[in-house]
Amino acid sequence: MKKIGFLLSGSGSTLKNLIQKINEKYLEAQISVVISSKSNVYGLKIAEENNIPCFVVEYSEHKKDLDEYSKKITEILKKYNVDLVVMGGFMSFYKVPEIYTNKVLNIHPALIPSFCGKGMYGLKVHKAVIEYGVKITGCTVHFVDNEYDHGPIIYQEAIRVLDNDTPESLAERVKEVEKRVYPYVIKKILENKFRIINRKVFLEED
């Protein structure tokens, strides 16, 4: 059974969905550990309720030393011997060590390389999308490298921006798509059904 280490910072809706997909046996994997960059977030409660070991590595205490911050996270992931690291609503920077190259996934609520980068997360992304006036947004699953929202893109899906959308209504529709897309991509990656050539990722689609 493949082991997942999950990184979050907030409400944990992505974690909850992944747990559901594992329980439904859509995904043959186990979430071995959850690490949060913040204390007192609902995502930690979800981990506890599902008896998943969880840890807090406070980003606010490590802002000036990202090496130390990332080292602490890596130590926990190594201790739990994870095969894959999945970020879901993780709002801080994790420096990916060599051993986890192309083993850390993130989902971003827009079509990278637009509306991404430092400070672009959660509702801020949808607000920027609406203010700019683009008609299409979406979600992107990518491997994480050591630049914000920059690693090789694995999968993207487009979502129409409606004239009467608010950041909240758009976030809701994007999340609905993410609920289907992220488990699908995680499954492919766990089954090794992908190839990377330079920064191009090819998935063996169903």
Binding of ligand GAR by 175 (CB under 6 A):
yes
User: Which residue out of 62, 108, 126, 142 is catalytically annotated?
Assistant: 108
| Per rule CB under 6 A, count of chain residues that contact ligand GAR | 18
Binding of ligand GAR by 107 (CB under 6 A):
yes
User: Minimum CB separation from ligand GAR for residue 205, in Å?
Assistant: 22
CA distance 54 to 80: 11
Give me 3's structure tokens: 């082991």
Binding of ligand GAR by 8 (CB under 6 A):
yes
Q: Choose, by CB under 6 A, the member of 21, 62, 103, 108 that binds ligand GAR.
A: 108
Does the annotation mark 142 as catalytic? no
| Closer to ligand GAR by Cβ: residue 5 or 109 | 109
Q: Choose, by CB under 6 A, the member of 122, 134, 150, 179 that binds ligand GAR.
A: 122
203 sits in which H/E element: strand 200-203
Which burial class, exposed, middle or buried, applies to 91 when counting CB atoms under 10 A from its CB (0-12, 13-18, 19+)? middle
Return the amino acid letter for 82: V
Q: Choose, by CB under 6 A, the member of 2, 11, 146, 194 that binds ligand GAR.
A: 11
Whole-number Cα distances in Å, 54 to 7, 40, 57, 73: 10, 12, 10, 12
User: Minimum CB separation from ligand GAR for residue 178, in Å?
Assistant: 6
User: Minimum CB separation from ligand GAR for residue 21, in Å?
Assistant: 14
User: Minimum CB separation from ligand GAR for residue 160, in Å?
Assistant: 17
Residues 6+ apart with CB under 8 A from 20: none
85 sits in which H/E element: strand 84-87
47-77: burial string, b at 16+ Cβ within 10 Å, e else: beeeebebbebebeebeeeeeebbeebbebb
3-state secondary structure of 59: helix
Binding of ligand GAR by 170 (CB under 6 A):
no
User: Minimum CB separation from ligand GAR for residue 122, in Å?
Assistant: 5
Find the part of the chain contacting ligand GAR (CB under 6 A) among 3-11, 19-27, 162-170, 185-193. 3-11
Catalytic machinery residues: 108
Sites of contact with ligand GAR (CB under 6 A):
8, 10-14, 43, 88-89, 107-109, 121-122, 125, 174-175, 178
